């Protein structure tokens, strides 16, 4: 296990954790997450990317005012490393935030407030995107 990220809601009722690991002992790695709500324990570990080809890593996490857990990570499932996003909101799917044609994207950082914002390194600079 490596590169843990943790986030807690302002009211302390939601705790989310994310990490990268190679559970099968291979050199590849995937990103996992688990969320706990007040009065209960963590659910099972969830493999985050729907497609685990390539290498996933460096998660960043936050919890918004509604108690939804948000996460971004590096993902090598396509041609080059991209930044992907997912939330725990009902029906949410993981979504690519960067494009392979723009060059490798790495080291995402996530923040929430009245909106959700993500910053990452890409081609010698920093990119920012408002997700929600």
Structural domain span for residue 52: 2-130
In whole angstroms, what separates CA 53 from the centre of its chain? 16
- What is the pLDDT, as a whole number, of residue 94? 85
- What is the pLDDT, as a whole number, of residue 40? 80
Q: How confident is the model at residue 125 (pLDDT cuts 50, 70, 90)?
A: very high
More confident residue, 34 or 60: 60
**pLDDT tens digit sequence for 83-115:** 999 998 888 888 999 988 888 999 999 999 889
Which CATH number fits the domain that encloses residue 88?
2.115.10.20
**Dist. CA 97–CA 14, nearest whole Å:** 25
Query: Which strand ranges, in their side-by-side order, compose the sheet holding 2-8?
Result: 2-8, 14-21, 30-37, 46-47
- What is the pLDDT, as a whole number, of residue 51? 64
- What is the pLDDT, as a whole number, of residue 39? 78
Report the number of distinct structural domains present in the chain. Answer: 1
Contact 23, 38 (CB under 8 A): no
More confident residue, 86 or 26: 86
């Amino acid at each position: 296990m490596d590169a843990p990220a943790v986030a807690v809601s302002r009211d302390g009722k939601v705790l989310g954790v994310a990490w990268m690991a190679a559970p099968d002992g291979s050199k590849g790695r995937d990103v996992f997450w688990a969320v706990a709500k007040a009065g209960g324990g963590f659910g099972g570990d969830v493999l985050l990317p729907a497609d685990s080809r390539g290498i996933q890593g460096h998660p960043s996490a936050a919890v918004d005012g509604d108690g939804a857990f948000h996460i971004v990570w590096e993902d090598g499932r396509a041609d080059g490393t991209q930044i992907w996003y997912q939330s725990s909101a009902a029906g949410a799917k993981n979504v690519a935030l960067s494009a392979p044609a723009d060059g490798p994207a790495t080291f995402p950082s996530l923040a929430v407030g009245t909106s959700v914002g993500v910053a990452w390194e890409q081609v010698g600079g920093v990119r920012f995107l408002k997700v929600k």
